[in-house]
Amino acid sequence: MTAVCLMFRGTAIFALVPLFLLSFCERTQPDASPAHHPPFDAAYLLLSPAEMASLPLAIRFEAPMGAEQGALTYNAQPFRVTRHLGDDLNGIGGWNSDLGDPVYAAATGKVIYAGWPSDGWGNMVVLAHRVPDAAAPEGWRVYQAVYAHLDKIQVKHSDVVPRGTPLGTVGTAGGKYLAHLHFEIRESRAVYPGPGYSDFPLDRVSPATFQKERGKSGDSVVQKAPERVIP
C-alpha cells in the first residue's frame, strides 16, 4: 500500500492505494505522441570510450542546406537569440518554400540517433564526430550535429556518412512549424534530444561560428536574413 494525494473538487485527499492499481494506471495513461512515434527517453545514454575513439574524424564542416557555404539559405533565428540553442535555417523563399529540400551532413560522422523523439522535435538525426583539437588530452573532442524538424529521414542508426551525404529533407515537425531546419552543434558524449531553448547555452556552441572556423577557407556558411526594403 502507498499514500497518494488525490484531488476531489479542488480538495487534496490522501488515500492508500494498492501498488498494483498504481501500476495499472501508469500503463493505461494516454500517450500524447502519435502511436507510431513512441516518446524517446534515453536517460542520458553515453557513448563509450571505444565508441568515441572509433568515430570518424571530421576536419571540415559545411552548411547543411543550400550550397557548401549556405547560399540560397538564411538564418531565421540564430543561436542564443530568444534563448535559442541552435540555428533555424530557411530557404531564401521563406514560408514553406524549402519544404522537402535536401538536408546534408555538415561533416563526416556516425549516425547515433535517427527517429522521432517528441512532437516538438519531429524527425531528428544526430551525427557524432571526432573533431581535431590539439588542446584536448586525446588530440580530439566529440561533437554532435543535430538536424531536427525533418520531413523525411534517409539514414539509419550506426550509418557512417561522408560530408555532403543527404540525411533527409526539410520539414515542419508534422505541421507544427513553418518548414525549416533546426541545426545544433553540441560538445557532448550524451545521446539525448534535450530542449531547443534555455536560459543557458548548456553543451551547445554556435553552429555558424563552429562552421566558419572549420569551413572551406574560413568563409561564412550562413547568410544574414534578407532585409525588408521599405519604399
pLDDT value, residue 72: 84
| Contacts of 195-204 spanning 24+ positions with Cβ under 8 A | 195/85, 196/84, 196/85, 196/86, 196/120, 196/121, 196/148, 197/82, 197/83, 197/84, 197/85, 198/83, 198/85, 199/83, 201/80, 201/85, 202/85, 204/79, 204/85, 204/86
- pLDDT tens per residue, range 143-164: 999 999 999 999 999 999 999 9
Pick the more confident residue, 1 or 165. Answer: 165
Query: What letter represents residue 176's amino acid?
Result: K
Query: What is the overall mean pLDDT for the chain?
Result: 80
CA dist., res. 196 & res. 193, Å (int): 9
CATH class of 45-218: mainly beta
Residue ranges of domains in the chain: 45-218
- pLDDT tens per residue, range 171-197: 999 999 999 999 999 999 999 999 999
- pLDDT tens per residue, range 98-109: 999 999 999 999
Residue with cell 534563448: 83
- pLDDT tens per residue, range 8-22: 333 343 343 333 333
Say yes or no to pLDDT of 230 above 60: no
CA distance to 63, 76, 148, 193, 209, per residue, from 222 (Å)? 7, 10, 17, 24, 9
CA dist., res. 140 & res. 130, Å (int): 6
Q: Are 163 and 105 in contact (CB under 8 A)?
A: yes
